[in-house]
Amino acid sequence: MKAKVTLAKEFKIGEIDKRIYGSFIEHLGRAVYGGIYEPSHPTADENGFRQDVIDLVKKLNVPIVRYPGGNFVSGYNWEDGVGPVEKRPKRLDLAWGTTEPNLFGTNEFMKWCRKADSDCLMAINLGTRGVEEARNIVEYCNHKSGTYWSDLRISHGVKEPHNVKTWCLGNEMDGGWQMGAKTATEYGRLALEASKVMKWTDNTIETVLCGSSSRNSSTFGQWEVESLDIAYDNVDYVSLHQYYENRADDIQSFLAKSLELDEFIYSVICAVDYVKAKKRSKKTVNLSFDEWNVWYHSNNAPYERWSVAPPRLEDIYNFEDALVVGSMLITLLRHCDRIKIACLAQLVNVIAPIFTKTGGGIFEQTIFYPFMHLSNYGRGVALKPLVDCPKYDCKEFTDVPYLETIATYDEEKGEMAIFCVNKSLEEKLCVDFNMLDFNGFKVTEFISMDGYDKKAENNFDNVSVKPHSNPVPQTDNNILTVELQPLSWNVIKLSV
């Protein structure tokens, strides 16, 4: 099969906010305990942070990590997680049916972020709690000194404020599974008031309003409009969450989910801008896609109720999942003019690119690599490619382009990268990239993941599903010709 792609500097979609390569750590399963924090692990530092985990997080180059939930946050008392560890209470976590020992909390997480070269996207509890607790945690984290909460932080050994810049106003508040779920109007009012006093406490912060818990949620659309109608002037972002699955073992429909994702993003932009227009507002509310991934392999795994940090949501990812994750990231970048934050959910053990054994080893899941490539090389501006390629029909979609692609251009560094997925199960795709005004470009590397069984996975003994380098493809004047293997993830790095 053949395809043509045209690229030019003028085809700019927008600046890529580095926070689009964010991730997520929730007090859930072994994300914290046995994941980022395991004092008895041979690689643990003086804080109990696993160094082997930090090393892989650094490879992923994750600029922001959402914390502490997720569903967990809707019942969390942040005060339980600060101060002398021996005085911290154990609590039932009703979100995940486990016991939370509170050995790790806000200050530990902020320290971990610094070690991992990351910032924190902090979520507050608007399920069982409200405005008072919201302002208190901002004062605890961000106020320098001389007040009750800031001095309490200092008495906990943290002299300098954390200066958390961005705050999520609760989590999935439309969902019946959420402690303290709300109607759109109830939530809109609470989010408005919480955001208002949080910003009065620290006028440099930004806040994220909860959108619907997914596109499939019955509240979707109406929730965004109704809650934003109330809170628009006081919030900076609206959140989106979406997970995909392949229970039907229909790889063609699974790979085509990025089309649905594209539509989902577009419809949220429409809902936000409808409220903007209705209010005759000059302010633009952007998008925080703060949970996205493939999630379904582990859903029915048994666990011991009320135990501490049992294995939960431990999806082991395969090669087709990596292609879907790559396609999802490409789709997010296609909307980087409006998506400023996105979080791969999650980071370690729980539906995650990094997998550990408690007390033991670690490995990179298949989905680790497309994320690593985009996060490291997909910087600068995103360019909209003009694509002419064959398409396929499948059970859930029609007219699915075999080629999913995006280009990024970092003018300052003189670097460019083109990311491609070939969704054909059998056929190679020969792509001519017409590099209009990129005179004198040079291909520096051509990396791919291909040739694997679609269900191939990595494990502790064998990380076989991983990228490899290929011979540098041919160029003829401004035409770059690249052959993409069937079912493949591809990265073409160029100097410009």
Residue located via tokens 């628009």: 232
Residue 180 or 473 having the CB closest to ligand AHR? 180
Q: Maximum Cα–Cα distance for the chain, whole Å?
A: 69
Instruction: Find how far residue 33's CA is from the centre of its chain.
Output: 21
Which residue's Cβ lies closest to ligand AHR? 70
Q: By C-alpha distance, which of 168, 123, 121, 165 is closest to 22? A: 121
Residue 345 or 407 having the CB closest to ligand AHR? 345
Kindly write down the DSSP assignment for every residue of 245-288, as one continuous string.
--TT--HHHHHTHHHHHHHHHHHHHHHHHHHHHHTT-S---EEE
Stretch that binds ligand AHR, among 68-76, 187-195, 372-380, 413-421 (CB under 6 A): 68-76
Stretch that binds ligand AHR, among 44-52, 69-77, 127-135, 262-270 (CB under 6 A): 69-77
Residue located via tokens 């939370």: 100
Q: Decide if residue 356 touches ligand AHR (CB under 6 A).
A: no
Helix axes 257-278 and 222-231, enclosed angle (nearest 10):
40
| 483 noted as active-site residue | no
Q: Which two tokens stand for residue 84?
A: 């002398």
Q: Decide if residue 353 touches ligand AHR (CB under 6 A).
A: no
| 404 noted as active-site residue | no
CA–CA separation, 211 and 289 (whole Å): 10
Binding mask 274-293 for ligand AHR (x = CB under 6 A): -----------------x--
Residue 243 or 397 having the CB closest to ligand AHR? 243
φ and ψ at residue 354, rounded to 5 degrees? -115, 130
Q: Decide if residue 349 touches ligand AHR (CB under 6 A).
A: no
Q: Decide if residue 171 touches ligand AHR (CB under 6 A).
A: yes
Shortest distance, position 28 Cβ to ligand AHR, whole Å: 6
Q: Decide if residue 100 touches ligand AHR (CB under 6 A).
A: no
Residue 71 or 422 having the CB closest to ligand AHR? 71
Among 291, 320, 404, 457, which one carries the catalytic annotation?
A: 291
Determine which residue in the list 346, 349, 365, 408 makes contact with ligand AHR, applying CB under 6 A: 346
Contacts of 436 (CB under 8 A, 6+ apart): 6, 7, 8, 9, 478
Q: Decide if residue 69 touches ligand AHR (CB under 6 A).
A: yes
- The shares of helix, strand and coil residues in the chain, as percent rounded to the nearest 5, are 30, 25, 45
Q: Decide if residue 68 touches ligand AHR (CB under 6 A).
A: no
For the annotated catalytic residues, the residue numbers are 172, 291
Summarize as ranges the residues that interact with ligand AHR (CB under 6 A): 26, 69-71, 171-172, 291, 345-346
